[in-house]
Structure 1
Amino acid sequence: MKKFVHVVGAIIENDAQQILCAQRSKTMTLPNLWEFPGGKIEKGETAEQALTREIAEELQCQIIVGQKVEDTTYEYETFIVRLETYKASIVQGVPVATEHAELRWLARHELQQIEWAAADIPAVRKLQR
């Protein structure tokens, strides 16, 4: 039986209407693919609490979590992931790639220029509508 992972991702937009994209490092599962930054929901956490904690840990920023954008379950070769994505705004700090290979700000029409992890694609498509 495949492992099930419940994760959250932040769709962070800046004042120039660009969205923060994070490239997974070579040491992570799904290396070099792009995603919305975030991570696993810990026991006893809400999705919003997990997202706030994960962004503080991964990007060294404080965010305010907004509305849910997408809720996707995707079956990869070795695991199943449920990804909930939320709009978010940075209220303190500048994103720093502490775990990811690269961070990139892209306009909505540029999002298809990078190779996304499959679970993130439904949210990307929704943003481009």
Structure 2
Amino acid sequence: MPHPETPAIRVVCALIEQDDKMLLTQRSNYMAQPLLWEFPGGKVEIGETETAALVREIQEELNLLIVPLKRLTPVVHSYSSKTIELIPYTCSLQSGNILLAEHQAYSWATIEELLNYSWCPADVPIVEEYLHLKIKQL
């Protein structure tokens, strides 16, 4: 159930592709949605563009430099305490070695492996859209 009195929190996430694999991160025990998998990202700050927020968040959380390429369909999802608008971007990896600042783990998954993960609910429609786009390219 959406929370009409509170606007949705704008959150960007990166679908980082490299060598036919996708970077996924696992939330740690102390985060909301503990131990579920997600596309990495974070909140868009006031006055910040979506792409600037995405580059900043991935640098802060994973120590990676990315280039956002294409905006996919945003997902509005209501959790018990808040509603988020999750805004996905496909991205290319430019440089860096992964250093986890917040997450418990990461994985490079093939397209075929994406459905084997326990995803955060807001990420599920993004996984489905991404798989649909990839199938159309074959």
TM-score, normalised on structure 1?
A: 0.94
Question: Aligned equivalents of 1:106 and 1:96: distance in 2?
Answer: 18
Aligned to 1:7: 11
Displacement after TM superposition at 1:2 (Å): 5.4
- RMSD of aligned C-alpha atoms? 1.2
Which residue identity does 1:9 align to in structure 2?
C
2:79 counterpart of 1:76: yes
Displacement after TM superposition at 1:3 (Å): 6.8
Aligned to 2:70: 67
Q: Which runs of 4+ in 1 moved over 6 A?
A: none
Question: Is the 8 Å Cα contact of residues 59 and 98 (structure 1) preserved in structure 2?
Answer: yes
Which residue identity does 1:42 align to in structure 2?
E
Question: Is the 8 Å Cα contact of residues 7 and 41 (structure 1) preserved in structure 2?
Answer: yes
Aligned to 1:53: 56
Q: Number of aligned pairs?
A: 128
Aligned to 1:121: 124
Structure 1: 5+ residue stretches without partners: none
Question: Aligned equivalents of 2:68 and 2:57: distance in 1?
Answer: 12
Structure 2: 5+ residue stretches without partners: 133-138
Displacement after TM superposition at 1:6 (Å): 1.0
Question: Aligned equivalents of 1:100 and 1:64: distance in 2?
Answer: 21
Which residue identity does 1:108 align to in structure 2?
I
SS at 1:19 equivalent: strand
More strand, by proportion: 1
Question: Aligned equivalents of 2:28 and 2:7: distance in 1?
Answer: 21
Displacement after TM superposition at 1:95 (Å): 2.1
Higher CA-based Rg: 2
Q: 1:88 aligns with which of 67, 91, 107?
A: 91
Question: Aligned equivalents of 1:2 and 1:41: distance in 2?
Answer: 16
2:65 counterpart of 1:99: no
Question: Aligned equivalents of 1:79 and 1:91: distance in 2?
Answer: 33
Which residue identity does 2:16 align to in structure 1?
I
